[in-house]
Chains A and B, each alone.
Chain A
Amino acid sequence: MSFSRALKKDLVGYAFIAPWLLGFAVFTLGPFLSSVYLSFTHYNIVSSPRWIGAANYALMLRDATFWRSLWLTFEYALVAVPLGIVCGVALALLLNASVRGVGVFRTIFFVPSIVPMVATTVVFIWLLNPQIGLVNRFLAVFGIVGPAWLKQPTWTFWSLVMMSLWSVGGSMVVYLAGLKDIPTYLYEAARLDGANAWQRLRYVTLPMLSPVIFFNLVMGIISAFQYFTQPYMLLQQKAPEESTRFFAVYLFERAWRYLDMGYASAMAWVLFAIVVVVTGLLFRTQKRWVHYGS
């Protein structure tokens, strides 16, 4: 193929994807790059950005709310992501069994993950109502006085973790696909070697599922650092700010409530850097525990 023909072919390809490229350049790449510049400015949206060097980054060092919100986000990521993986894998294992009507059960567990987050949050606000909520009424059957879930800082945090598990069906489907991909001869060989159920899970299923677990771990960590909708909604409902002002919520407040877009941009880049570092660390650990069958 001559060079000009190859070029022409490439151009045709680019022309086909031109609408997407244009949209990406204008609505994603442009704002992405301009936020780098804005993070070094004092910018209130209305006036032109004013260059202030690294002042926004320096301010973060002594911004107590910044550190509190960052720590809260770390805490959430450390608790909710592993818990989500454990529940997702456990559900997938249960729903991998060949029983009658398993498709119905899979659907039931998957459906919550496609309910919009806002709707889920509203439902949970009522479920966790301390006086008339179903959760506390259920606990009352056993003589337990349930807490004021969304009004006390400690319980609000755990309520958010609980809410995150509600939509674990999304990752469950991925685990299920991973389970289906494990060759049956591995289990047959394990059985012949005398492995019991736990040993088959420990030495066959989990290693073979580890690439999928790794994928969900990375995606879960990224999502956790960007956690916004649920805590923001709870904050609007007068939930304790100590347990709902996550990093993304504080970033949003700085940007749109206090018109401090420069600082918010700097926060966004710090968040980006943290996510890159954490993801990089996870990738470094994968050699030790992620098993690629090939």
Chain B
Amino acid sequence: MALVVSGLVWLGMRAPSGSAPASHATDSRHAPARVQVRFWHMWTAEWKVVVDRIVERFNASQSTYEVVALSVPPEGAESKLLLAAVGGDPPDVMAQWKNVIPTWAKNGLLTPLDDLMSRQDRETFARDAYPVVKRLGQYQGRLYGLAIGVNTWACYYRVDHLREIGVEPKALPTSLEGLVELGKRLNRFDERGNLTRLGFLPQWFQTYSVLFGGGFYDEAKQQLTLDTPQNLRALSYLFEQRRILGNDRVTRFDSAQNAGFGLEWPFVTGSVSMTVDGQWRVEQLAKYAPTLEYGVVPVPPPLGGKALGGFANGNYMLVPHGAKHAAGAWEFIRFWSGLADPQVAAELYTWGGWLPALRGVASAPAFESYLRHFPQFRSFVSLLPSENQQTLPPVPFQTFLLDRITAADEAAMRGVLSPREALERLEREVSEERARQRSLGADD
């Protein structure tokens, strides 16, 4: 009896699940049979709909490959891919936006995309890709992730709030110092002194370090630049502005603001007059607050700083090592990025409101038409050719580095450490981590 029960349990465990993804190389659902390319991405909700549309468009254009998309929860996407790769069954292509490329590339988890590119692809990429795109997916001079969308940050301002204090949008200051002064005039407080509306407060060390002429990496020397006078100036400036407004007051105000999607974004609710945010807000505003009058300008640099500077990242495609259909994966990446046909890709970019990685896509009629419809988007596009758009250094401990930069920023803003101490700690922590990696036999 016991053996029978055990046997039944075993059979139950062995029974194929109806929802298990097919891993066959070909599929008989469509005629003619095509090679299935398994694509994992992390988009959900309305974004997933757009991705599915792009996949459909690709599949309709194909007689050789068929992309099968799977939306993976972002929280578990990295571990899922790692385990799939270790188990010898990774997807053929994955869209990522986390800081994983140098780490994964160093550990042999990724296929260099240069190996999959044709000569023409390489030439087009070298000629047409924006500078920041070339920095995004690199490790040791090789391309491991091709951006299919770039994220840049610019300054959103509410026209109604500006007019309230008699300022016309065209007369916005062209220096960071001027913008901060303007922000002070837009601040509002309640009877207890709590901030009820924030005019403008520069926050986020990563972006402002670049605007102050700093940043975290010297490309020419291939060296990290953490505790530098420029970075110290940036961090000190950010802390000083926060201190002037009242650190505790800002903390309380920030805590009361929802991180904000759509209608809950503090900019939409009117709790913030001017703020630095990404290009995806343009689509959200059109959808959730179509009557809101607003504009977008590149964040002005401080006196002596770098214009059109800032931090950029992106959504990029990577091909895991061991992918069974790397050629099909590359075909899909070519299609989406616009390397295959920028005119076709331009339309895809308008569906998601993404910033293209290639100049050819940005100048295609479909994208031009999109820019006419959303003129605020132009400010973000104008940042793309800038050499002052930086991204995270291509070091294999990139996640650690980002964590420590963020920690330095937060410690300085909370007043736990002075800006100088925060940068010294950052430098020390990163040095220790490198020493640690070296002691374990892992070089940079």
* Chain A residues at the B interface, C-beta cutoff of 8 Å: 12-13, 15-16, 18-19, 42, 44-47, 50, 52, 55, 59, 63-64, 129-132, 148, 150-153, 238, 240-242, 253, 256-259
- Residue of A whose beta carbon sits closest to that of B13: A19
B443 proximal to A (CB < 8 A)? no
Return the contact of A259 from the options B6, B103, B407 (Cβ within 8 A): B103
The answer to whether B86 and A130 touch across the interface, beta carbons within 8 angstroms, is: no
User: A259 contacts which chain B residues (CB < 8 A)?
Assistant: 82, 103, 107
Q: Beyond A47-B107, A59-B436, A258-B399, is A148–B252 a contact (Cβ under 8 Å)?
A: yes
Measured between alpha carbons, how far is A18 from B6 in the docked complex, in Å? 7
Interface string of B406-444 (1 = CB under 8 A from A): 010010001010000000000000001000100111100
The answer to whether A256 and B416 touch across the interface, beta carbons within 8 angstroms, is: no
Q: Beyond A42-B440, A46-B85, A46-B107, is A129–B3 a contact (Cβ under 8 Å)?
A: no
Return the contact of A240 from the options B83, B104, B416, B436 (Cβ within 8 A): B416
9 contacts between A and B (CB under 8 A): A15-B2, A16-B2, A42-B441, A45-B82, A50-B441, A129-B255, A150-B255, A240-B410, A259-B107
Return the contact of A15 from the options B6, B82, B399 (Cβ within 8 A): B6
The answer to whether B82 and A130 touch across the interface, beta carbons within 8 angstroms, is: no
Return the contact of A55 from the options B3, B407, B439 (Cβ within 8 A): B439
B194 to chain A, nearest CB (A): 7
Measured between alpha carbons, how far is A34 from B403 in the docked complex, in Å? 29
The answer to whether A130 and B6 touch across the interface, beta carbons within 8 angstroms, is: no
User: B442 contacts which chain A residues (CB < 8 A)?
Assistant: 42
* Chain B residues at the A interface, C-beta cutoff of 8 Å: 2-3, 5-6, 9-10, 78-79, 82-83, 85-86, 103-104, 107-109, 194, 248, 251-253, 255-256, 397, 399-400, 403, 407, 410, 414, 416, 432, 436, 439-442
User: B82 contacts which chain A residues (CB < 8 A)?
Assistant: 45-46, 259
Measured between alpha carbons, how far is A48 from B328 in the docked complex, in Å? 28
The answer to whether A19 and B2 touch across the interface, beta carbons within 8 angstroms, is: no
Q: Beyond the given A18-B2, A241-B410, A257-B400, could you list 13 further A-B residue pairs with CB under 8 A, ordered by the A residue number? A: A12-B2, A16-B5, A16-B6, A45-B83, A47-B107, A55-B439, A130-B252, A131-B194, A131-B252, A131-B255, A240-B414, A241-B407, A257-B403
Measured between alpha carbons, how far is A91 from B161 in the docked complex, in Å? 53
Measured between alpha carbons, how far is A131 from B104 in the docked complex, in Å? 42
- Residue of B whose beta carbon sits closest to that of A50: B441
Measured between alpha carbons, how far is A130 from B252 in the docked complex, in Å? 5
B50 to chain A, nearest CB (A): 26
Measured between alpha carbons, how far is A174 from B251 in the docked complex, in Å? 41
B31 to chain A, nearest CB (A): 39
User: A47 contacts which chain B residues (CB < 8 A)?
Assistant: 107-108
Measured between alpha carbons, how far is A225 from B256 in the docked complex, in Å? 32
A89 to chain B, nearest CB (A): 35
The residue in B2, B10, B107, B194 that gathers the most chain A C-beta atoms within 10 A of its C-beta is B2
B283 to chain A, nearest CB (A): 25
The answer to whether B399 and A257 touch across the interface, beta carbons within 8 angstroms, is: yes
The answer to whether A19 and B255 touch across the interface, beta carbons within 8 angstroms, is: no
Measured between alpha carbons, how far is A240 from B397 in the docked complex, in Å? 22
Q: Beyond A45-B86, A46-B82, is A131–B103 a contact (Cβ under 8 Å)?
A: no
- Residue of B whose beta carbon sits closest to that of A261: B82
A240 to chain B, nearest CB (A): 7
User: A153 contacts which chain B residues (CB < 8 A)?
Assistant: 416
The answer to whether B436 and A130 touch across the interface, beta carbons within 8 angstroms, is: no
The answer to whether B10 and A258 touch across the interface, beta carbons within 8 angstroms, is: no
Measured between alpha carbons, how far is A59 from B82 in the docked complex, in Å? 25
- Residue of A whose beta carbon sits closest to that of B415: A152
Return the contact of A130 from the options B10, B103, B256, B439 (Cβ within 8 A): B256
A261 to chain B, nearest CB (A): 10
User: A129 contacts which chain B residues (CB < 8 A)?
Assistant: 255-256
User: A258 contacts which chain B residues (CB < 8 A)?
Assistant: 397, 399-400
CB-CB nearest 4 A-B residue pairs: A131-B256, A15-B2, A46-B107, A16-B2
User: A13 contacts which chain B residues (CB < 8 A)?
Assistant: 2
User: A19 contacts which chain B residues (CB < 8 A)?
Assistant: 6, 9-10
- Residue of B whose beta carbon sits closest to that of A130: B252
User: A12 contacts which chain B residues (CB < 8 A)?
Assistant: 2
User: B103 contacts which chain A residues (CB < 8 A)?
Assistant: 259
The residue in A55, A131, A258 that gathers the most chain B C-beta atoms within 10 A of its C-beta is A131
User: A151 contacts which chain B residues (CB < 8 A)?
Assistant: 251, 255, 414
Measured between alpha carbons, how far is A16 from B1 in the docked complex, in Å? 9
- Residue of A whose beta carbon sits closest to that of B3: A15
- Residue of A whose beta carbon sits closest to that of B442: A42
B412 to chain A, nearest CB (A): 12
